[in-house]
Amino acid sequence: MNARMFAARVALPALAVFAVCSDGRAADFDWKKFQGKTVTFLANNNPVAQALLAYKDDFEKQTGMTLKVDGYQEQQMRQRLVTVMNAHSDEVDVFMTLPSREGEQFAAAGWYADLSAMAKNDVAKEYDPAGLSQALLKAATFGGKLTSMPMNIEGPIFYYRTDIFKKCGIEQPKTIKDVQAAAEKIKACDSSVTPFVSRGLKPAIAYTFSNMLHNIGGSYVAGGKSNLCSAKGKEALDTYSRLLRDFGPPGVVNYSFQQISALYRSGRAAMSFESSNELRTVMDGGARLKDTALIPFPAGEAGQVPTVIGWGMAVSSHSKQPDAAWYFVQWATSPAVQKKMALQGIAPPRPSVASDPEYRKWIDEEPVRKEWQAALDVLATKGSSEVGYPIVANPESREFIGQAVQDLILKQKTVDQACADADKALDALIAQK
């Protein structure tokens, strides 16, 4: 799968994915059709799911159904899903998925129900499937089958403390080299804070590392082979790992979004490279509301090529009630619910929500929100969804990327050794097709 470029702020023609539903069909829609049924949702306990499930009672009231939530942290959620799907169990009706990560793999395994017909024919008038980001819908389509409906649009962005930068005489970073220089100055200027933090947990590293790799001008694959040992690949590995090794917190190899956001929110980090989804978490309590600035990750030789992805809502192919499950998916990805989530800092995958007057008012209330929206606009227009290797075994590829970075953070290998070992393992994955 080639990297897909997103332009989610501009809706493509509706016929790119959907035919517009007829008024007659929409008029027959009954939200109470499956009243009394219970739908089980396997959720990742991230900010997207947390924002959605704040309105769980609204779903149950609107549909008369019961929503059973089976929630875990991300890695545990995936382990649970593998167990359920390999057993062909109907314990899960709906699950969260990242098409950019496991889409091809899950599609090949037959784990997704095809939502194409339901999204065309069984929708409420207000749902407007054509109003969803057509790029995200395309990214979730494999072999002609629509595997999930988008919940959000996101990517890693650069959070930094304006007060610390001012105290240490640092300007807003324009390049990756500026980030390194800022970290060095902060380390010398204020020893009470961690200069820089980003993901160091092995399976989570590819999300942020990919942004740096692409900004530097590197690629994961060239000529059908893994390309981490290219000059640009080695530069990205060395730069990312050095920032975390020399300027990151102790134990950074165990850091994913939860630890990063907690560190930054508490005032113990000066720069954080983490998901745009974390705005809500980082700003919780208000301590960072007035001293934080947000920008896309600074440019490398190739400019700014930010990572951009979106979580999706999928119906299990083993569900015995896919129609009822679809009603939950439809409710969760509707304009009304996505507007509510947007007001909690979850970037909407619907251009209409992004331009809604109430949402724009919320954005304009705080400078940091305006910067967040501006960064999201860059992600939407310049972003690449290539996170890890564009192969069916994408999830496994991320482990080897993470291992190479961790080996360097821990000084267990040289850059040449780390990339060579990773390339060897990744070439074997690529050869599997």
CA angle 92, 93, 94 (to 5 degrees): 100
Question: Pseudo-torsion of CA 383, 150, 69, 109, nearest 10°?
Answer: -90
Q: Which residue positions in the chain have pLDDT lower than 50?
A: 1-16, 19-24
Both tokens of residue 346? Answer: 């979850």
Question: Pseudo-torsion of CA 313, 274, 263, 406, nearest 10°?
Answer: 100
Question: At 354, is the secondary structure helix, strand, or coil?
Answer: helix
Position 25 scores a pLDDT of: 52
Nearest Cα residue to 300 out of 159, 419, 178: 178
Same fold, 14-153+309-355 and 156-307+381-431: yes
DSSP structure class, residue 20: P
User: Thinking of the domain 14-153+309-355, which architecture would CATH place it in?
Assistant: 3-Layer(aba) Sandwich (3.40)
Position 49 scores a pLDDT of: 96
CA 404 to chain centre: 22
Residues 6+ apart with CB under 8 A from 267: 161, 193, 287, 288
Question: At 309, is the secondary structure helix, strand, or coil?
Answer: strand
Cα separation, 136 vs 143, in Å, equals 15
DSSP structure class, residue 159: E
Position 207 scores a pLDDT of: 96
Position 7 scores a pLDDT of: 39
Are 6 and 153 in contact by the 8 Å Cβ rule? The answer is: yes
User: Thinking of the domain 156-307+381-431, which architecture would CATH place it in?
Assistant: 3-Layer(aba) Sandwich (3.40)
Question: At 38, is the secondary structure helix, strand, or coil?
Answer: strand
* pLDDT tens digit sequence for 400-413: 999 999 999 999 99
* H helix intervals, 229-334: 231-247, 257-265, 279-282, 322-332
Q: Where are the domains of the chain?
A: 14-153+309-355, 156-307+381-431
Burial class (CB in 10 A: 0-12, 13-18, 19+), 297: buried
- DSSP β-bridge partners for residue 221: 226
